[in-house]
Amino acid sequence: MFLSLEFGQDDLSGQVAEAVEFERCRFDGTRLSGLSLRRGQFSDVEFKNADLAGSRLADSALVNAAVLQCRLTGSVWTDSGFREVLFDGCRSDLASFRFSRFRNVVFRGCNLVEANFQGADLTGARFEDCRLEGAQFSGAKMAGTRFSRCDLWGVSGVESLRGSVVSSADAQSLLHTLASALGIKVED
């Protein structure tokens, strides 16, 4: 267990571990790219300007955390839990959150282009000012999920958006995807 530590410009990329816990730790500019972690626990932590690109975390948890201006490109968080987490200004394109659970989670100003939320439980999550073009939501639970000022062009699994709340401005970017799912052809 790592308790109340600050990781600065450390290079921890490519590390492989299992059942590691971080509590009240701060990762500021830390390189964690290619990290492979199973059953990792992060509670009361802050990631700021950290590089988690290509990291693989399975059956892990992120609780009461802030992930600020981090690079998560291509990271994989499979079957993980997120509770009371803020993702702010993160580059998370091609990230995968398949079969993960989100409670009181906010994605703000994030690039989530082609991110994968297949089978995830996003009940009550919020997406604000996010780019979600081509994101995958097949089989996701999304009752009460809110989208405001987001680009939803070409999202997949649009049927899973049932029960979500989309601002009227965002609904425009869903028009072609919804029409296609219903077999409607849109012409000029």
In a domain, 188, yes or no: no
| % pLDDT > 70, the chain | 100
Closest CA to 105 of 148, 154, 62, 157: 62
Tell me, yes or no, whether 186 lies in a domain.
no
pLDDT attached to residue 183: 81
Lowest average pLDDT, out of 23-27, 54-58, 157-161, 166-170, goes to: 166-170
pLDDT tens digits for range 68-122: 999 999 999 999 999 999 999 999 999 999 999 999 999 999 999 999 999 999 9
Q: What tokens appear for 101 in the block?
A: 């659970």
Amino acid (1-letter code) at residue 150: C
Domain span including residue 142: 2-181
Q: What is the CATH number of the domain that holds 12?
A: 2.160.20.80
| pLDDT over threshold 80, residue 143 | yes
Q: With pLDDT > 90 as the criterion, what percentage of the chain qualifies?
A: 88
pLDDT grade, residue 25 (50/70/90)? Answer: very high
Evaluate whether residue 187 is within a structural domain. no
CB 1 within 8 A of CB 23: yes
Decide if 35 is inside a domain: yes
Number of domains in the chain: 1
pLDDT for the residue 149: 96
**Tokens coding 90:** 């993160």
**Residue 153 maps to a domain:** yes
pTM (2 d.p.) = 0.94
In a domain, 6, yes or no: yes
Question: Would 161 be classed as within a structural domain?
Answer: yes
Sequence-ordered list of residues with C-beta below 8 angstroms from that of 23, at least 6 positions apart, any chain = 1, 2, 3, 4, 41, 43, 44, 45
Q: Is residue 120 part of a domain?
A: yes
